[in-house]
Structure 1
Amino acid sequence: MLKIALSAAKFAAVGLLGMAIDFFFTWLCKEKLKINKFIANAIGFSIAVVNNYILNRIWTFSSKNPQVFEQFLYFLGISSIGLALNSTFLYLFHQKLRLNFYFSKLIAIGIVFIWNFSANLLFTFNNGK
């Protein structure tokens, strides 16, 4: 149980860095490049996914799996489901509940964290278990 808690804390730390990367690129695309806010959201999220995979593989889960590309595809698939959930929650909170766009994005990220950690622990970085 302690090992899972430590992994969750590391995953959260990587996620916080990923969130900063996500927010920066979302802001850059939406505010400065004037890209549609939902496309900007997908761009920020995607850049963060690559960063998060590398850091989680090396630091959080210390993966030695030689199938790096296959493992990344699992991570990308789980992250894509996370993106769909993130966008859905973002739409609901921002468009339907009229909450601030960035506050809505923060709430969505928090909810999707649970999905991302659980699915990656069980499927991406399970070390053949």
Structure 2
Amino acid sequence: MNRLLAQIVKFGVVGVLATLVDFGIMIALHEWLGMNPIIASAISFTVSAIFNYLASMRYVFTHREDLSKTREFIVFFVLSVVGLLLNSCIMWAGELSFTALGVAYANGPYYVGVKVVATGVVMVWNFVSRKVWLDADTSHKASAPARK
């Protein structure tokens, strides 16, 4: 249990840094370049995912010997695409909701608040999916034949 707790803490530190990258780029693209918040969020999420891959596989998760680095990256990429879809759907639903209420979604803190919700949902997805499919310390070891 201590090992899992330490891993969650490391994941949290990497996640905070990735979130700073994500939010910083999204806000800069929207506020400084006038980009649509949903598109800005997708771009920032992608850059953050690359950072997250490099940091997570170095500091958080243990490399699985049954996965080549190429396969590891492909699995991480596919899991990140699912995260990107979750992120974009939540951002889009937020825009629809605020627009239906007559609130200018792209103005003020509204899109940032929706991004906070999206980040929380995707964070849970990221940890659980990476733990299951990428970490060498997961239960897939239990299915391996026992050594004699």
Regarding TM over 0.5, the answer is: yes
1:12-51 per-residue CA deviation (whole Å, 9 max, x = no partner) reads 1111100000011111211212222211111100000111
2: CA distance between counterparts of 1:123 and 1:64?
A: 9
- Name the aligned partner's letter for residue 95 of structure 1: L
2: CA distance between counterparts of 1:102 and 1:37?
A: 9
Bigger Rg, structure 1 or 2 = 2
1: CA distance between counterparts of 2:70 and 2:28?
A: 29
Aligned to 2:29: 29
Residue pairs, 1:101-116, within 5 angstroms: 101-116=111-126
Find out whether 1:82 has 2:46 as its counterpart.
no
Aligned to 2:47: 47
Aligned to 1:91: 92
- Name the aligned partner's letter for residue 45 of structure 2: F
Unaligned runs of 5+ in 2: 142-148
1: CA distance between counterparts of 2:90 and 2:2?
A: 31
TM-score, normalised with respect to structure 2: 0.78
Alpha-carbon distance, 1:7 to partner: 1.1
Higher helix share: 1
1: CA distance between counterparts of 2:91 and 2:38?
A: 9
1:93-119 per-residue CA deviation (whole Å, 9 max, x = no partner) reads 343156711011011101111111000
1: CA distance between counterparts of 2:63 and 2:17?
A: 20
Relative to structure 1, the CA distance from residue 52 to residue 39 in structure 2 (aligned partners, 3 Å threshold; closer, same or farther) is same
Figure out how many residues of one structure are paired with residues of the other and give that number: 129
Find out whether 1:14 has 2:24 as its counterpart.
no
TM-score, normalised with respect to structure 1: 0.88
2: CA distance between counterparts of 1:101 and 1:24?
A: 13
Find out whether 1:119 has 2:129 as its counterpart.
yes
- Name the aligned partner's letter for residue 25 of structure 1: I
Unaligned runs of 5+ in 1: none
Identity, % of aligned positions: 27
Alpha-carbon distance, 1:64 to partner: 6.4
Q: Is the 8 A contact 2:64 2:134 kept in 1?
A: no
